[in-house]
Chains A and B, each alone.
Chain A
Amino acid sequence: MLGKLLKHEWRAVWKVPVLLYGVLLLTGLIAGLTFSMPIWDSDWVGLPMSGVMLILMFYFALIGVSVGITIYFAVRYYKSMFTDEGYLTHTLPVSARELLLNKVITMGAWNLITMAAIVLALIVFGGTALLALKSGLGEFSREVFKAFSELPELLDEPYMEGFEGFCASIIWMMLATAFSGTMMLIGSITLGQMVRKHRILGSIGAYFGIQAITQTINTVVIMPFMFTVFEDWWWDVDSPFYIFTGFYVVMSLVTLAVAVGLYFLCEYLIRKKLELE
């Protein structure tokens, strides 16, 4: 039955995120193409500010799409599980575990796809911008390409030691966030249903509560690690990347542990405390 749930869930949700990804990629393409305009090689004083504004606008588009998709899935989860639509969801001949796993897998998968779409949009933006600048070959273009050509040399510097491991920890953290972020959302909404008269307010309150608990656990777990780092390690290494890698791995493990705990709590609440209005 889980396979059937996934099939119908996927069929019901794919259109909105795909539309938003399309908007994002188009924005990246248009933003990148603006670098082919002759103005970038002019002496206009507002040029640096325009560049910053352009990149900021693209950044806001990335954030907007990411937040939009998160809100879409949160509303979808709430409506299909706890409003009138829940009367169909909870009378299907499936277990609470299958219902919840369906949501976690679908939302987690779309989180990963959103991350991939953001990376793709950055590549489209950067690639289009570089191609546009290359065709110009003015002073501004030369400066940009010079800066890029110096990048590989940076990797040989002592302070870049452990950069590869740091990149791997970022990828691991993104994978972990796809699941923990999903559970944060599902956990908040499900816990919020226990406040029967103010379910949405309850969900918002639960979100901040879960965040506070996660941060507290993070601090408690990371504190001894920090002391070890600063006492025994900090002075022996030239690169900060080892330390960042350690922090990211520990933090993602803590959020994963909280997410697993939230999963079992949600399953219990859906099985034992469900009260549809």
Chain B
Amino acid sequence: MNQPLMVTAAQKAGPTLTTLAGALVLLVLLALPLLSLLPADNPLQVSAYTLTLVGKILCYAIVALALDLVWGYAGLLSLGHGLFFALGGYAMGMYLMRQASGDELPAFMTFLSWTELPWYWIGTEHFWWAMCLVVLAPGLLALVFGFFAFRSRIKGVYFSIMTQALTFAGMLLFFRNETGFGGNNGFTNFRSILGFGITEPGTRAALFFATVLLLVASLFLGWRLARSKFGRVLTALRDAENRLMFCGYDPRGFKLFVWVLSAVLCGLAGALYVPQVGIINPGEMSPTNSIEAAVWVALGGRGTLIGPLLGAGVVNGMKSWFTVAFPEYWLFFLGALFIIVTLYLPKGVIGLLKKKADQ
């Protein structure tokens, strides 16, 4: 007799607890940049290393969330999100390189003995135009690719393989010196952003703060989408695309919208990642990076909003610990994680927690 009541109680307790925990995490994240500004001898001071590391992980969390929108909700597993992330990063990097080189050509171009900027660099000295590029480059690429892919109804693993090939092609392209993005080495040695020194504690704190804001905004956006009819159409699309078409919905438009949105979110995350980490190179486009993002989402729990954030945090936290403590074993661990998650945690950690809560 009591059972139904218990279930309702647990369900009621669930959201409250989640909200509390979420609020706490948010508070900590907002406090971190402030704490980093404290003098070095203060016991509460947060080091630049920690701030950069957490900032980096937050950028990855945004990528995970973006990937979850297309995979968890619409059932499109992209193995090419690293490309969008890197494109956003490169767009930001172009601005930073121009800031660093002043009126002259960026150093790597002088090294190649180029005499003038390639056309696609025009305007990148302006921050506002770089920001436009951050959105436009990944957005347009996703639009064109998605248009053709969804038009010919490429889905499932075919879609995954195509996206992987896309990011691989991107990587090859950016590795070339002639492409005009610094080849192998990419962009580094940034000096300032909007006139502020890039390594100054204040700039770091501001960038971190911006990342937290973007994460919260993406979370809110994802939440609104998931609760709208649009979100339900996506879920329906994932489970029974044919049925949806015979209901009169055109799946292409829905897929394309969420796909481009996801790509743009990735681009923004990349743009915040580059000034914090201080480097961008074609390695970011390697298929390995993109597929790793899929395991963040899978570990946390796809089709949920918190899961991907959790997954990105846990895996990247582990990574930075492992690669210092046991560099040899990180790949073994990561590989095992891929297998264990797919075999035993089909709904991720969040799914496991929910199951526990229901019992």
A binds B: no
Interface of B toward A, CB cutoff 8 Å = none
